Amino acid sequence: MLTLEAAFEASGLAGAVALIADRDGVRFVEAYGHADATTGQPMEVDTIFQIASMTKAIVSAGAMQLVESGALDLDAPIGDLLPQLANPQVLTGFSDSGEPQLRPASRPITLRHLLTHTAGLGYFFIRPEVLRYFAATGMPAPGSLASIQMPLLFDPGENWEYSVATDWVGLAVEAASGKRLGEYLQTNLLGPLGMSSTAFLDALPDDAAKVHARTPEGDLVIQPMFLGGGEFEMGGGGLSSTAHDYGRFVRMMLRGGELDGNRVLAEATVAEMARNQVAPLRAGFMGSAMPDLAQPYDTFPDQHTGWGLGFLINPEQGPNGRSPNSLAWAGIFNSYYWIDPAKGIGGGVVSQLAPFGDAGGLGFFWGLGRTAYGVEA
C-alpha cells in the first residue's frame, strides 16, 4: 500500500498536517513538510492554519445551538432578524449598458436556506454573474459587509449554489445572541470542546503556515493571503485553527454532540445536521470565475450528492472506504475533512496552497482516507 509519506511527497504540497480520529480519540496525527517553504520552517502538528471554509461547519453548529434554545428559527424569514436580507432581489441579467436587472424574489430567505446554500446567494470567485454585478456596482473591499451583499441568482429554495450564506449565518448568530460571533463560539462551542487554538484573528502569528502557490516552473512561493481582520468576523471562512482542534470538532460530531463529558448539541440536532436537506437538488459542484483562486471542484462527480445543515453528504459508498451518508467539506487553501458516522471515524488534512482543488492536495487527502480505512491504493 502506498504510504502516507509517499502520498505527501507525490502531492507537491509545501506542508500539511494529517489527522485521523474516532469517537474515543486521535488515532493518527503527523506533520509533513514545511510551514514556510521559502525559509524551511518545519511544519508542526500544532501549527496554526487558516481553515477558511472549514469554518462553516463550526458556525453552523453554533447556529443550531440557538435553534435548540429557540433564539433562532430554521424556517422563519431571516430578514426579520437581518434587515439586509429582507425583500431580496433576484438578478435576471444585465442591460445593454451593463446595468444589473433585478426582480423581487418569490419567497423570503430562511436560516435553513442559508445553512443549505439554497438561498440564492453566490461567491464572486465562483459565479461570473456575481463578479459582473460587483464590477457594475463597485467592487467591495475584501472582508467588508458590502462583499456579502448581492442580489440572488435564483429564488430561495430553487437551487444549490455555494455561497456567502454562512457569513450571514454568523451575523444571525450575533443578532440572536447579542454577542460577537467569536465570543459566542468561544463560550458555547470552542471552549467546551477544548478547541483552544481556534479563533478569529486580526493577524496570523509569525509561525503560522504560509499560503503557497506554484510558479509555472513548479517552485513554491508565498502568496500573501489572509481571510481575517475584516469589517466582521466571517462565519463563512474567517477562523484559524489546528488539525488537533478540528479533530475535536470531528469527534464531537461522531459522538452525537458530546465530547469529554461536555454536550454542545443534542443528538437529534446532530442527526438533523447530517440529514440531506436539499433533495431532489444536487449539491457540491463549484464552478470557477477565478481559477487562480479556486478551480472547478466536485468531490463526487459520479454521485447525486446532498447537503445537510453545514455539510456535503455522499449518498453512496465513497472512495477509499468512506461510508454512505458521510459528511465532508473543505477550505480554500486545500484543506479537507470528512466525518463518517457509520464507521465512527473521521479526520482531515490541513494545508495552505492556492488555488483550491489542487490535484496533489486532493491526492494526499485521498491517501489519508486509504490509511484510515486500510484500503489498498
Residues assigned a catalytic role? 53, 56, 162
318-321: Cβ within 8 A, 24+ apart: 319/366, 319/369, 320/366, 320/369, 320/370, 320/372, 320/373, 320/375, 321/369, 321/370, 321/372, 321/373, 321/374, 321/375
Q: Are 350 and 55 within 8 A, CB to CB?
A: no
SS3 state at 258: strand
Total residue length of the chain: 377
Nearest to 311 by CA among 290, 340, 280: 340
Report how far residue 38's alpha carbon sits from residue 221's, in angstroms, rounded to the nearest whole number: 7
Task: Tell me what percent of the chain is helix, strand and coil, each rounded to the nearest 5.
Answer: 30, 20, 50
Q: E strand or H helix at 115, and its extent?
A: helix 111-116
Joined grid coordinates for residue 111? 436560516
Nearest to 213 by CA among 47, 354, 61: 354
Pairing of strands 212-214, 353-354: parallel
Q: E strand or H helix at 65, and its extent?
A: helix 55-69
